[in-house]
Amino acid sequence: MTQSDVERVTVNGVELAVTVTGEGPLVLLLHGFPEWSWSWRRQIPALAAAGYRVAAPDQRGYGQSERPPNRRDYTIHHLVGDAAALVRHFSAGSEPEAVVIGHDWGAMVAWSCAQYRPDLFTAVMAMSVPFVPRMDMSLLDLIDATRGDDFHYIRYFQEPGVAEVELEADPTETIRWFAWMASGDRPEVAAPLGDGNQTRLFESGSPPEGIPPFLTAGDLARWAEPFVEGGFTAPLNWYRNLQRNWELTAAWNMTPIAVPAGFVGGAADPVLAPQADGAPNMGLMMMDQFVPDLRTRVLLEGVGHWNQQEAPEETTAAMLDFLSRVRD
């Protein structure tokens, strides 16, 4: 990715930095937390070489894109609106449509894109976060009901200004912590999503010294760069709209995904871990139930949460296989 690849596009009332390359059917790549479009650096050229037009935005609040100051400007409707507007922008002169592929929070946006606008998003592939439909109880209420007063990172992220104190004390160290603790190389004793007996995120375990094997020192610095410059408030605002998102999406309660879909995850991803009682991961079970046209389902052995970075070749191969399935 070079600076010449990046376009600044104003859509849906926000200016976004978008890496664009290639010619052919449009593929929209949506990153997660705490990343930015750079996380797709290994996949972008491969997809372009395979005959696709690739657009990978820094989503609102991230990277070099605009950071609206009002936390209400980060609802799921804003995020899907950004993606839909990008499809229309990059489909100028042709019928607006795209395959949307998202990782982590980007997966949640991608699932929503496919659910709310199947006219624009003809297929969806998610990474790390399986599809879970909007249910009768919100995620925050479910956390409260099941965890009580125990620590949970999503609950910790809710109060404006609280998590920022910890995450912004040393943004590069914060990214190093996330990189280690959600990777397939994390220590066996780590509890990356919290162990219930803590008050801050980093109390859940200490990463090894140095840099995870899937990164270089330059990679770590590059990954952290936008957070050193812009902090974490805007990305955390995505979490601070979870309850509002649940309220806004009542019309889609228990609605399945109707378009062709694919899923890639790391078998060692803590997000995909079995339930505490040993039962299969709830998200994977829900996805199997509510995504009837799931054409690709790949779990990469030994790989954690950052599958595009930890296993770039395998991830790219799964993406190209899925794209060929929905293109033919």
180 half-sphere exposure, CB direction, 13 A CA radius: 20
Partner residues linked to 40 by β-bridges: none
The C-alpha atoms of residue 184 and residue 212 are separated, in whole angstroms, by 10
With beta carbons less than 8 A apart as the criterion, state whether 175 and 39 touch: no
- End-to-end Cα separation, the chain, in angstroms: 29
Q: How far apart are CA 48 and CA 205, in angstroms?
A: 39
Q: At what angle do helices 171-181 and 217-230 cross, to 10 degrees?
A: 130
> At residue 40, what are phi and psi to the nearest 5 degrees?
-95, 15
Q: Is 104 a catalytic residue?
A: yes
Distance CA 273, CA 279 (A): 10
57 touches 109 (CB < 8 A):
no
Classify burial at 205, counting beta carbons within 10 Å of its beta carbon; exposed 0-12, middle 13-18, buried 19 or more. middle
Catalytic residue among 89, 104, 152, 269: 104
305 is catalytic: yes
Q: What residues act catalytically? A: 104, 305
